[in-house]
């Protein structure tokens, strides 16, 4: 059905609204989504500089004054922002209808990664994980697309239900989650899997799930965790053992299993309160030989350059992105839009906490990147797609009458 603009009668200065197959919607360009978009832009530009800082020093190869991968990241930023703009155009409820097809495609790509007969030039294991598909000009990480599809599917499933307020009503959600999480675990990529769990809990809480049910699940999972340890891969066990040694103050692994973590912490400490000059920071990064300094450990590079205050400003930008998403959720009467906004905020928050924890020695090195900042084309483009989706939700507001969402009496199941 074509959209037809109207002006609400008798309301001075009222904004036009649109009627279409989705009902009546006010279109506004003043909303909290812009806070997230501006934070994303600041983080992305900082990421380009940090990647260049991490990879280029002295007489290293440059293209147009940038390290080659920093220049590619800048190109990916342009593509990502273009994708965000495209995603804001159709009504976001259309993505709810496309949620299951998107999940099927994501699952298909995750299965493709695990097929043993796929040539290595298409799917080449990196750091022991089969997580990327070589597209020639860049690499596609299906797990990044699965994040968006997962949020859309769960939000679409829960939007008008109350069954999840019963303990057994959480079983369908668990079954929906089991497929992508199981496939990502088989890559193996436990770091990405861990991001889904707090995201799901955030969506469930926003949808009115009972806190005591979720608490029971957390307690049972914590008690069962030791039983999972024997099933872990050798390198995963090593990472856990390395963290335990750090906590115990054992530096015997500083040149072995804990080299990456201790080196990152050294760079963080070298930044002090206010950081170092550009040339000095480049020398620190170069001679400390930090592995994955443009990717998983880029936060240590940023702190070495800009110091503790600089690191805190980076975290502030993430808080602004998350705050924009949560304000968007709070201002959205449509249940699907509200849950999508909460889910996207959950993924960003979880990813930042894990990555920063890795860089300062509080979390095992599990291959989780820093959103918008770490090098990676598919990751950056996907993150900007999530920002575009958030802008889409923020700019469209349902007009009454609308169906109440997630408003339950105390005894209501």
Cβ–Cβ under 8 Å, residues 368 and 66: no
Specify whether the CB–CB gap between 152 and 102 falls below 8 A: yes
- Give the residue with greater pLDDT, 136 vs 55: 55
- pLDDT-based confidence at residue 14 (cuts at 50, 70, 90): very low
Q: What is the pLDDT of residues 216-232, one digit of tens each?
A: 888 887 777 676 667 66
pLDDT of residue 313: 96
- Scored b (16 or more CB within 10 A) or e, 140-164 reads bbbbbbbbbbbbbbbbbbbbeeeeb
| Interval 178-217: pLDDT, tens | 999 999 988 888 888 889 999 999 999 998 888 888 888 8
pLDDT of 310 reads 94
Global pTM value: 0.88
Look at residue 172 in the predicted model and tell me its pLDDT: 92
Give dist(CA 147, CA 180) in Å, integer: 9
Q: Tell me what pLDDT residue 267 has.
A: 92
| Pairwise CA distance, residues 122 & 142, whole Å | 13
Which residues touch 274 (CB under 8 Å, ≥6 apart)? 306, 307, 308, 309, 310
Maximum average pLDDT range among 162-166, 203-207, 316-320: 316-320
């Amino acid at each position: 059905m074509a959209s037809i603009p109207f002006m609400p009668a008798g309301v001075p200065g009222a904004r036009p609204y649109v009627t279409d197959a989705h009902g009546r919607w006010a279109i506004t360009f003043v909303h909290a989504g812009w806070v997230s978009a501006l934070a994303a832009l600041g983080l992305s530009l900082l990421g380009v500089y940090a990647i260049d800082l991490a990879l280029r020093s002295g007489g290293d190869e440059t293209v147009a004054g940038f390290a080659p991968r920093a220049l590619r990241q800048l190109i990916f930023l342009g593509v990502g922002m273009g994708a965000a703009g495209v995603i804001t155009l159709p009504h976001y409820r259309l993505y709810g209808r496309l949620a299951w097809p998107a999940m099927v495609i994501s699952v298909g790509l995750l299965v493709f990664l695990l097929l043993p007969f796929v040539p290595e030039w298409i799917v080449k294991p990196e750091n022991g994980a089969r997580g990327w598909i070589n597209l020639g000009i860049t690499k596609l990480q299906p797990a990044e697309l699965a994040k968006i599809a997962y949020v859309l599917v769960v939000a679409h499933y829960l939007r008008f239900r109350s069954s999840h307020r019963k303990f057994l009503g959480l079983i369908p959600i668990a079954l929906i989650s089991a497929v992508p999480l199981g496939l990502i675990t088989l890559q193996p990529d436990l770091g990405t899997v861990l991001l889904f769990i707090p995201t799901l809990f955030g969506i469930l809480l926003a949808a009115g799930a009972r806190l005591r049910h979720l608490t029971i699940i957390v307690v049972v999972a914590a008690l069962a965790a030791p039983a999972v340890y024997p099933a872990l891969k050798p390198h995963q066990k090593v990472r856990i053992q390395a963290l335990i040694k750090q906590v115990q103050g054992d530096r015997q692994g500083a040149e072995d299993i804990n080299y990456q973590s201790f080196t990152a912490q050294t760079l963080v400490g070298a930044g002090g309160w206010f950081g170092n000059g550009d040339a000095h920071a480049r020398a620190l990064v170069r001679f400390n030989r930090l592995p994955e300094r443009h990717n998983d450990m880029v936060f240590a590079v940023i702190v070495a350059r800009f110091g503790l205050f600089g690191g805190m400003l980076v975290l502030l930008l993430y808080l602004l992105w998350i705050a924009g998403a949560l304000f968007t959720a709070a201002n959205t009467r449509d249940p699907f839009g509200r849950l999508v906004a909460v889910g996207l905020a959950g993924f960003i928050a979880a990813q930042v906490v894990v990555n920063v924890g890795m860089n300062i020695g509080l979390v095992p090195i599990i291959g989780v990147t820093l959103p918008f900042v770490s090098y990676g084309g598919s990751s950056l483009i996907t993150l900007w797609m999530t920002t575009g989706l958030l802008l889409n939700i923020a700019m469209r507001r349902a007009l009454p009458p609308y169906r109440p969402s997630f408003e339950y009496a105390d005894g209501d199941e």
